[in-house]
């Protein structure tokens, strides 16, 4: 079989286009919009305007890097949701236009499904069934994956997503949005045991990250009263300590999920999966029985490579969409 698919990801503030040839990613161009830094979070209106402005050049770059011509494509895929309405509409409209003009099948993709299957881009690959912990700016879930197209969610956050909490905490200590990657770097220079933060106990395999965010705010207020330079003087220790509490919460729930399900193959996905402390702690979990799989960083953040990989498996299973397919901004 000789299958070439183009995939478009535009669910939030990354405009990304990838080309896949069978199971091999030929190109994966990601443009992260910088403008949102000025506002401390993603502004939906600006995100969609930027997708519109840049998408043609990203498509051309993806084709050029893959050394593929538009008329060689066998299918076109796009992110259907969850995500921002205006942003999703840009990717969906472009994909539909390409499908219509080239007369090729259209494949719609669930963004979370794609974060899970990002684990099949690099080697080694997990075996079914496996557990996947999705950790991103919009989601925190534990899912059992039974095959390429079948999954059951067994735990999720009841309030903030992990990345959302990390970004809000970062903002409180003057780290620009999205703060996760910088907080991770600062944490490397700090003492993770310097400060202690309360962890919200949530039943079953669910999470809550809004409590720690509020506790962090009060911790800063109290200490700034005593010393107005508290943040500046303790930045690295603060980052290391708060990161440790958040990652520890995640690892504890993952251990509980492993025990409950008896599943030995563990994967992660989403932007927070590039966190060095999380990777470090996960690696320590692996042993004779447990096997851990972590996607390469370019496939952790929002990217079209993971959309393309998911589209490949949907194509093999004849799961096509049509021009009437609507985007779904909320969780599918
Ligand atoms: O998957 P993603 O690109 O977008 C969503 O689907 O939400 O994830 C973005 C999130 C942001 O919250 C960002 O701060 C976080 O991933 N992130 C990190 C790191 N790199 C990105 N969080 C912690 N440590 C990192 N190294
Ligand atoms: Zn994502």
145-155 pLDDT per residue, tens: 999 999 999 99
The per-residue DSSP string of 77-121 comes to EEEEESS-HHHHHHHHHHHHHHHHHHT--EEEEEHHHHHHHGGGT
Q: What is the pLDDT of residues 74-84, one digit of tens each?
A: 999 999 999 99
> Ligand 2 centre and the CA of 320: distance in Å?
22
User: Of 118, 140, 163, 172, which is best to mutate to test ligand 1, by the most ligand atoms within 8 angstroms of its C-beta?
Assistant: 163
- For residues 39 and 65, membership in a common domain is answered with yes
H-run or E-run covering 24: strand 24-32
- For residues 287 and 158, membership in a common domain is answered with yes
- For residues 232 and 310, membership in a common domain is answered with no
Query: Does residue 322 lie in a domain region?
Result: no
- For residues 94 and 65, membership in a common domain is answered with yes
Q: Is the pLDDT of residue 163 over 80?
A: yes
Atom of ligand 1 minimally distant from the CA of 278? 24
- For residues 44 and 62, membership in a common domain is answered with yes
Atom of ligand 1 minimally distant from the CA of 276? 26
Any atom of ligand 1 within 6 Å of the Cβ of 138 = yes
Percent of the chain scoring above 90 in pLDDT? 95
Task: Grade residue 1 by pLDDT with cuts at 50, 70 and 90.
Answer: confident
Query: Does residue 332 lie in a domain region?
Result: no
Percent of the chain scoring above 70 in pLDDT? 99
> Ligand 1 centre and the CA of 135: distance in Å?
8
Name which of 114-123, 182-191, 248-257, 322-331 the model is least confident about: 322-331
Q: What is the pLDDT of residue 245?
A: 96
- For residues 179 and 81, membership in a common domain is answered with no
- For residues 49 and 67, membership in a common domain is answered with yes
Atom of ligand 1 minimally distant from the CA of 177? 14
Stated pTM of the model: 0.96
Query: Does residue 326 lie in a domain region?
Result: no
Query: What is the rounded average pLDDT for all residues in the chain?
Result: 96
Of the listed ligands, the closest to the CA of 139 is 1
Taking residues 21-37, report their average pLDDT: 96
Query: Does residue 328 lie in a domain region?
Result: no
Q: What is the pLDDT of residues 123-144, one digit of tens each?
A: 999 999 999 999 999 999 999 9
Q: Is the pLDDT of residue 299 over 90?
A: yes
Query: Does residue 283 lie in a domain region?
Result: yes
The total domain count for the chain is 2
76: domain CATH number? 3.30.420.40
- For residues 152 and 23, membership in a common domain is answered with no
Query: Does residue 209 lie in a domain region?
Result: yes
User: Of 301, 306, 307, 332, which is best to mutate to test ligand 1, by the most ligand atoms within 8 angstroms of its C-beta?
Assistant: 301
- For residues 38 and 72, membership in a common domain is answered with yes
Any atom of ligand 1 within 6 Å of the Cβ of 295 = no
User: Of 136, 172, 185, which is best to mutate to test ligand 1, by the most ligand atoms within 8 angstroms of its C-beta?
Assistant: 136
- For residues 50 and 79, membership in a common domain is answered with yes
Cα separation, 162 vs 243, in Å, equals 11
Going by alpha carbons, the residue nearest to atom 14 of ligand 1 is 180
Query: Does residue 329 lie in a domain region?
Result: no
Q: What is the pLDDT of residue 331?
A: 64
Neighbours of 103 (CB within 10 A): 6
User: Of 14, 271, 273, which is best to mutate to test ligand 1, by the most ligand atoms within 8 angstroms of its C-beta?
Assistant: 271
Any atom of ligand 1 within 6 Å of the Cβ of 184 = yes
> Ligand 2 centre and the CA of 193: distance in Å?
30
The per-residue DSSP string of 280-292 comes to HHHHHH-SSS-EE
User: Strands (DSSP E) along 97-192, which ranges?
Assistant: 106-110, 130-135, 140-147, 150-156
Q: What is the pLDDT of residue 80?
A: 98
- For residues 40 and 178, membership in a common domain is answered with no
Taking residues 244-273, report their average pLDDT: 97
Query: Does residue 330 lie in a domain region?
Result: no
> Ligand 2 centre and the CA of 12: distance in Å?
8
Close Cβ partners of 299 (under 8 Å, ≥ 6 residues apart): 28, 118, 121, 122, 305, 306
> Ligand 1 centre and the CA of 139: distance in Å?
10
- For residues 66 and 146, membership in a common domain is answered with no
Domain limits at 241? 124-294
């Amino acid at each position: 079989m000789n299958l070439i698919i183009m995939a478009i990801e535009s669910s939030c503030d990354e405009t990304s286009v990838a080309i896949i040839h069978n199971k091999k990613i030929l190109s994966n161009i990601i443009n992260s919009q910088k403008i949102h830094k000025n506002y401390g979070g993603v502004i939906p209106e600006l995100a969609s305007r930027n997708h519109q402005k840049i998408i043609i050049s990203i498509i051309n770059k993806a084709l050029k890097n893959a050394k593929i011509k538009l008329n060689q494509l066998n299918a076109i895929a796009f992110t259907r949701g969850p995500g921002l309405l205006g942003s999703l509409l840009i990717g969906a409209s472009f994909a539909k236009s390409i499908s219509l003009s080239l007369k090729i099948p259209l494949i719609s993709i669930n963004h979370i499904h794609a974060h899970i299957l990002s684990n099949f881009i690099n080697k080694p690959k997990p075996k079914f069934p496996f557990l996947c912990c999705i950790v991103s700016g919009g989601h925190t879930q534990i899912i059992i994956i039974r095959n390429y197209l079948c999954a059951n969610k067994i735990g999720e956050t009841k309030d903030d997503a992990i990345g959302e909490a990390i970004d809000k905490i970062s903002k409180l200590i003057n780290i620009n949005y999205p703060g996760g990657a910088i907080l991770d770097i600062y944490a490397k220079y700090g003492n993770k045991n310097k400060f202690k933060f309360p962890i919200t106990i949530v039943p079953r395999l669910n999470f809550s990250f809004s409590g720690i965010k509020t506790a962090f705010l009060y911790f800063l207020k109290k200490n700034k009263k005593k010393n107005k330079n508290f943040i500046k003087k303790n930045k690295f220790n603060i980052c290391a300590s708060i990161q440790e509490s958040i990652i520890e919460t995640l690892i504890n729930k993952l251990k509980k999920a492993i025990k409950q399900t008896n599943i030995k193959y563990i994967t992660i996905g989403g932007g927070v999966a590039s966190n060095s402390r999380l990777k470090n702690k996960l690696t320590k979990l692996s042993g004779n029985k447990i096997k851990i799989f972590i996607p390469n960083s370019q496939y952790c953040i929002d990217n079209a490579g993971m959309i393309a990989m998911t589209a490949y498996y949907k194509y093999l299973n004849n799961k096509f969409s049509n021009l009437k397919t609507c985007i779904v901004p909320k969780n599918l």
